[in-house]
Amino acid sequence: MRRAALLALVAVAAVLATGAARADTFTVVPTPLVTPLVPDASAASEPLPYSQLLALWQQAGAQYDVPWQVLAAINKIESNFGRNMGPSSAGAIGWMQFMPSTWMRWGVDANGDGVADPWNATDAVFSAARYLQAAGAPADLYRAVFAYNHADWYVQEVLSLADLYQADGSVAFSLDQMQQALDTARQAVVDSAARLRRAQARESRARLLSDRLALQPAVGKAQRALDAARAALARAQHASAAASFSPAAADLLAGPTYESGWVFPVGGGPGVVSASHTHHDYAAVDIAAPAGSPVYAINDATVLRSWTTPDPRCGIGLTFQTGDGQTWTYCHLAVLDPKVVPGASLAAGEQVGLVGSTGEATGPHLHLQLQPADAWPQQEPWFQAFAGTAFSWNDAATAVPLRTPAIVGAAEVAARPAAGPVFQVVGPPPVVLFSRG
């Protein structure tokens, strides 16, 4: 019975690993540790204080000769310092988002409680350091991080953030606070705007004047709540404005990304923002991003039309003309900035609203199209120039231009692998036998 249960866990891990971007099959050796694949209730605890996290990154880095800043960057990007521990859509789990099959090979019981637990911060961080060392750290940090997630943009994001942490150890904590404040403020605006729309819809459906009058206080209350949420977001944006100029911090804070006079329309970076080379029925692009992600003007422009009452198909949006004479439309915003009115001038990178799913939308995204829709936005040279820096292709591999974070060194970056895993893939899938020590 015990053996059957263990084999069942292995089968679950194999299913979770199938088709995942970062999953590989490694030669697995017997270990005396139980590897839990389902978190217990304690996994949902509050994030650890920064002083404890810093000590953990430094201890694990010292033991496995991995820069602690790299561990901190992976911890931030993968689980937001333990706030989002999965399972992810790919099946990754825990503090450092290991695939179960990879955890079975590299997970260690670092805190000595007899269990290698990916939802335990100590076990997870030390296991990540062990994995990175086996993949080539510290001699080849690029290759080591590439083994963690086989995407060039991911490596660049980790190493750039690690470079920023190296310059000032306290930056990790201050940036985290800024990001949490922005995320909270953006979500408050999204939620308040949705409540206002519902209140307005109830008022408009009322047939009797007395009923409409009775519903007006609720509409006014919802409008005041939205105004207060917008003011709080403006304060959070002002507090983070200086930090967002750093490319490494821009993705965390979802700031605008500039390239040759153009700006990518959605903030957040290639880890959370994606687009397809094609659109389902006509020339346009759907840019997927979390609800509340900021939406920016792609260039200096003049607003031609804007609408805050959701259109049945396009939702909330605007149409504007850029300096080159092209006319563009944004659809499905959660909320539009009050300054976005017909005739208003927009500067490249100026925020115009937040990503949503108003109108006919199956999920949060920004719909971008030319007017008339006779060309594909994603085929424009300026759009493609942002692949790997502002977004990733969700239907093909994403390459990025060579950049050289100071923590890595030019020689290491130049020697980066072209593609594929660092470890040799083996098969058939191994049977993993383990028990409590």
The confidence score (pLDDT) of residue 207 equals 87
Cα-based angle 137, 141, 144 (whole degrees, multiple of 5): 70
Structure confidence at residue 279 (pLDDT): 87
Do the Cβ atoms of 92 and 98 come closer than 8 Å?
yes
Share of the chain above pLDDT 90, in %: 65
**Distance, CA of 275 to chain centre:** 14
51: pLDDT strictly greater than 80: yes
Q: Name the pLDDT band for 89 (thresholds 50, 70, 90).
A: confident
User: What is the pLDDT at residue 123?
Assistant: 96
Tokens of 242: 């200086």
The residue to which tokens 């829709």 are assigned? 373
Confidence of residue 407 (pLDDT cuts 50, 70, 90): low
Closest residue by Cα to residue 251 from 154, 150, 141: 154
Rounded distance between C-alpha atoms, residue 320 and residue 206, angstroms: 34
Rounded to an integer, the average pLDDT of 224-248 is: 91
Question: Letter for the amino acid at 50?
Answer: Y
Angle at CA 16, nearest 5°, toward 10 and 20? 130
The pLDDT value given to residue 6: 34
Backbone angles phi, psi at 230, to 5 degrees: -65, -40
The pairing of strands 392-393 and 274-275 is parallel
376 token code pair: 């594909």
Average pLDDT over residues 379-404: 80
How confident is the prediction for the chain on average, in pLDDT? 83
Q: Which position has the higher pLDDT, 60 or 360?
A: 60
Q: What is the pLDDT of residue 397?
A: 66
Using DSSP's 3-state secondary structure scheme, residue 224 falls into: helix
Length of the chain: 437
> Does 13 have pLDDT greater than 80?
no
DSSP 243: G
Asked if pLDDT for residue 77 goes beyond 50, the answer is yes
- Please state, as a whole number, how many other Cβ atoms lie within 10 Å of the Cβ of residue 48: 16
Beta bridge partners of 356: 365
- 399 pLDDT band (50/70/90 cuts)? low
406 pLDDT band, cuts 50/70/90, is low
Query: How many Å apart are CA 158 and CA 96, to the nearest integer?
Result: 13
Which pLDDT band, with edges at 50, 70 and 90, does 7 fall under? Answer: very low
CA 85 to chain centre: 13
Which class for 386: exposed (0-12), middle (13-18), buried (19 or more C-beta within 10 A)? buried
Confidence band of 415 (pLDDT split at 50, 70, 90): very low
- How confident is the model over 258-284, as pLDDT tens digits? 999 999 999 999 989 999 998 888 999
What are the pLDDT digits (tens) for 277-317?
988 889 999 999 999 999 999 999 999 999 999 999 999 99
Mean pLDDT of 223-248: 91
Flag whether pLDDT at 232 surpasses 60.
Answer: yes
- The predicted pLDDT at position 258 comes to 93
Q: Is the peptide bond between 401 and the residue preceding it cis, with omega within 30 degrees of 0?
A: no
10 versus 271: which is more confidently predicted?
Answer: 271
Cα end-to-end distance, the chain, whole Å: 18
What is the average pLDDT across 199-212?
90
DSSP letter (8 states) at residue 44: G
pLDDT of 409 over the 60 cut? no
Percent of the chain with pLDDT over 70: 80
- How far is 72 from 107, CA to CA, in rounded Å? 18
**Contact indicator for 153, 389 with CB cutoff of 8 Å:** yes
pLDDT given at position 394 = 87
What SS3 class is residue 96?
coil
Q: What is the pLDDT of residues 112-145, one digit of tens each?
A: 999 999 999 999 999 999 999 999 999 999 999 9
Q: What is the pLDDT of residue 431?
A: 30
Q: What torsion do the CA atoms of 38, 41, 42, 44 make, to the nearest 10 degrees? A: 90
For the chain, percent helix, then strand, then coil, each to nearest 5? Answer: 40, 15, 45
The set of residues, in sequence order, having a beta carbon less than 8 Å from that of 138 and lying 6+ positions away, is: 65, 66, 67, 144
pLDDT at 404 over 70: no
Query: pLDDT category, 32, cuts 50, 70, 90?
Result: very low
CA distance 194 to 189: 9
What pLDDT is attached to residue 426? 33
